[in-house]
Structure formats: structure tokens, C-alpha cells
Chain A
Amino acid sequence: MNYIEHVGKYFLMLKQVFKKPQKWSVFKEMFFREIEDLGLKSLGIIVFISFFVGAVIAIQMALNVDNPFIPKFIIGFATRRSVILEFAPTFMSVILAGKVGSYIASSIGTMRVTEQIDALEVMGINSLNYLVLPKIISTLLFYPLLILLAMFLGILGGYCAGLLTDLFYSEDFLYGIQFEFNPYYVKYAIIKTLVFAFVIVTIPAYHGYYVKGGSLEVGRASTQAVVWTSVVIILLNYFLTQMLLG
């Protein structure tokens, strides 16, 4: 099947996904389950990576800004900008594409090969709407919160690195993170996150839903899902940056 066919099939899938849920009480139950599976269970990795990557950004900055004419608050300023503009929304989304994307593709793929999706269809349930819509809504609501947390922890990591290494003064760092702060950058990061959250759910769901074969194919679909989700995130990041900041 060529790429255009895949794109067409993907949009036809979305048409089925965005239908009114057959029963709101069941949808609500699924929504909270997905908040836990896709959101809360990703909290640990987000906290860990954000904090340490923020620390590394600050240390790298401090080690490279050794010109006495460049003020030291630039370390805080640059750390804040890197974290808010790129690290938190894009880098974290690529990590979530790996963690959550593979989970979605393999869980839906396993349901397909073990006939659980057929069982839903036979009962008269719109399986795409039942399985995918709660995932989309829960990630659209929860991922911006995760990314805001990643921003905070990244900057906190940078601050702690300064305290522990004495490479820069914490006063300089605190001044730097407040210097010329533009709230639009946070809005820009949230817009990107919403788009990426949609991609992180729908591309793996597509790969999982249309898998054919057995466990080997589910594994392949899961890998493909992660690769394609990451590629699409990186491409969309380029276009969104151009559109929103260019």
C-alpha cells in the first residue's frame, strides 16, 4: 500500500473516531482509565528526564559561556528559553511517542489479532470511537499539564545544578529566567503540545487498529508507530515553529 493510501485510510479512521459516544457513562469510565494509563503512568519518566535534562542544559550553558563580557544571567535566560520553546514540548513529546505510542499500538494491535475488536463490532459498537476517542480527549487534556510540569522541573533542574556545581550564582540564574519573559512562548509550547498529543494517539492507534497477522506483526506495528509518530512530530514542529514564531 502506498503512502497516499495510508494517509487516506488514516483520515477515514478519524471520521469514525469523531462520532458521538454510544454511551456517555462508558465513555467517562474509559476516559478516566486512559488518564491513568496514558497520563499518570507517564509522570515518573517526565519528572526524571525533565529535571536532569534541565540541569544538563544549565551546566552546558555555564561551561560554554566563559566570555567575561557575556553576563552570567544569560545561563538562566537560555535555559528557560530552551526548556520552554523546545525541550518540554518537542523532546518530551518524542519521549511520549516512544512510551505511550508503543503502548497504544501494541494494545490495540493485540485486541485486533485476538479478535477483541471483532467482538466489539459484532456487538454493534463503533470500536474506533470506543477505543480511540477517550485516548485522544484524555491526552489533549492531560499532556499540556505534563508539559507545564516538564517546563517547571527543567528550570528547577538548572537551578539545582547551579547550587550543586557552583558554576553560576543562583541570583544570576533567577534573574535570567525572569529576564524578558514573554508569556506567548508558553502559549506556543501548549499549542505544539496539543498538536503532538493528537499525533501521539492517532498514529499508533492507526498502526494498531489495522494490523494483520499475529504477535510478530503487532511488534512491527508498534515499532512503525513510534518511528512515524516521531517523524511526524519533528516535521510538524518545523512547520508550527515557522507559523507561530516566524
Chain B
Amino acid sequence: MIEVKNLYKEFKEVPVLKGISTTFEKGKTSMIIGQSGSGKTVFLKCLLGLHIPEKGIISFDGRKHTELDIKQQRQLRQEIGMVFQGGALYDSLTVEENVMFPLKMFTKKTYSEMLERVNFVLNRVHLDNSNKKFPAELSGGMQKRVAIARAIVMNPKYLFCDEPNSGLDPNTAIVIDNLIQEITKEYEMITVINSHDMNSVMEIGEKIIFLKDGVKAWEGTNKEIFKTENEAIVNFVYSSNLFMKVREAYLNETK
């Protein structure tokens, strides 16, 4: 379990996160949502250790991030997989080399063992026969799948995704969502997704954390989000007529 307690982060004395506390559980897909500038990315980067919070505790299965020395932090980071918004694939490396990269850095496997693992994860994300292609030769959806393959190649305990659906068409977005959820269940990972895509939130958000102005304004599941009367989240989620109608239909159905 990832436990966050009273997390504060500020930039140049401007507070961005104001005392966030929550937990992320094993085998569940948790989603962080909120308007632009609400602190979602900063929160995710604090979880990843890319930003050091001013106050608060982040604990990965009892290991407090701030209390680990550099060696222990590196060890912990090897248990983390991350899918960046733009994929963050290394341009000069092929798909195979990109996915093999963490194995090369952190394991003593032979080339054939590494290749076997790479082919396995590429097959898992439905990307066979793309090994020798460069990222620039792939579509946005394929790049995201390579990024997922690279994130899971080390069998991580924790998977973080920053807007995995941004820039994708609705069909590809659903494929990516389902893939992340399947992988989360299959490998019993703790998955945390930062997203704007309400479709994804409704589909795979087993736990949803809504941030507003750096504060956790609401927390619940994708079922509870339909029923909530919390003004902040209702204004955010149901700002579109389509979602408002979906909500009304859901509430009528469950009456």
C-alpha cells in the first residue's frame, strides 16, 4: 500500500499541495483528477520522488520515502514503473532497446534472456513485430503501449501513469485503459493514474481522488461519483451535458 499523509509542497513560497492524505491499494486502479493547475502532476511527481515535499510522509509498503538513503531510494525506484504523458521514449533507441533499457541497467540477465522478456511484454501490450522500429515511426497509441511495456518490464510493484490517454482517439484510449487495468489485476500492482479523461475515470477508476486548488476535495469510487452531491466534483465532472445525462440515467436506473 502507498500511504500519503499530510503532504505539502510549494514553489517559490506559493503552496501547490496543501496537506493531502490518502492511500493507494494493491490490485486497484486509482485515479487523480482535477482541473489544470489543481496540483495533480505535482502530486504525482512527489509520489515518484521527482519533487521533494516540504512536509508530509509518503510511505511505500512501510518504507518512508523521505527517510530512505540514496541507495534505498534507487532500490525503491526500480520497483516503480512510470508511463509519461508523451511516452518519454528514448528517440535514439529502437522499441526493443527502449523496453530492454531497464533490464540492461539493473539486471545481470544475458541478452537472450532480456530479449525473451522484452518480447513477452511487447506481446502483452499487443505490439509484436515492432521491435526494430524507432519511436518516431510509431503512432501515438503505439508509443503509449511501448511506454507501458517499458514500465512493466521489471515487474514493478507500483505503476504510475501521467495522462496515458492524452492525444489519443477514443478507441485507442479505451484499449490503453483496459490494458492498464488488466495489467494491474494480473501483476497485483498499485496503479495510480493522473487523468483528465472522464471516460477513463468512469471506466477504470476504482478509487478516485479529486484535487482542487491543492486540496483533496473528494475521494470515492467510480460508482460513488454518480451519487455524490459534493459541489466541487459535480461542477467538475458534470460540466458536460453528456455526463450530466449519463448521471441522470444512472440515478434513475438505480432508484
Binding site for A on B (CB under 8 A): 48-50, 73-78, 80, 82, 84-86, 88-91, 101-102, 104-106, 160
Whole-angstrom CA separation of A110 from B86 in the bound complex: 12
Residue A171 at the B interface, CB < 8 A?
no
For B76, list chain A residues within 8 Å (CB): 124
Selected contact of B105 from candidates A111, A118, A125, CB within 8 Å: A125
Chain B residue numbers with a CB within 8 Å of A124 are: 73-78, 106
Q: Which interface residue of A22, A111, A114, A123 has the most chain B CB atoms within 10 A?
A: A123
Residues of A within 8 A of B88 (CB): 114-116, 118-119
CA distance A46 to B73 in the complex (A): 45
Residues of chain B within 8 A (CB-CB) of A231 are none
Query: DSSP class of A's interface residues: helix, strand, loop or mixed?
Result: helix
CB distance from B203 to the nearest CB of A (A): 25
Total chain A interface residues with beta-carbon distance under 8 A: 16
A123-B78, A124-B73, A124-B77 known; A118 vs B102 contact (CB < 8 Å): no
For B104, the closest partner residue in chain A by CB is A26
Asked whether any CB of chain B lies closer than 8 Å to the CB of A4, the reply is no
Would you mind naming 7 contact pairs between A and B with Cβ atoms under 8 Å apart?
A26-B104, A118-B84, A121-B77, A122-B160, A123-B80, A123-B106, A124-B76
How long is the Cα–Cα vector from A123 to B106 in the complex, in angstroms? 9
Q: Which residues of B contact A111 (CB under 8 A)?
A: 90
CB contacts under 8 Å to B, within A94-129, are 110-111, 114-116, 118-119, 121-125
Which residues of chain A have C-beta atoms less than 8 A from B78's C-beta? 123-124
In the complex, per-residue mask of A3-25: 1 if CB is within 8 Å of any chain B CB, else 0: 00000000000000000001101
From residue B115, how far is it (CB to closest CB) to chain A in Å?
Answer: 16
In the bound complex, CA of A114 to CA of B84 (Å): 9
CA of A23 to CA of B107 in the docked complex: distance in angstroms?
A: 10
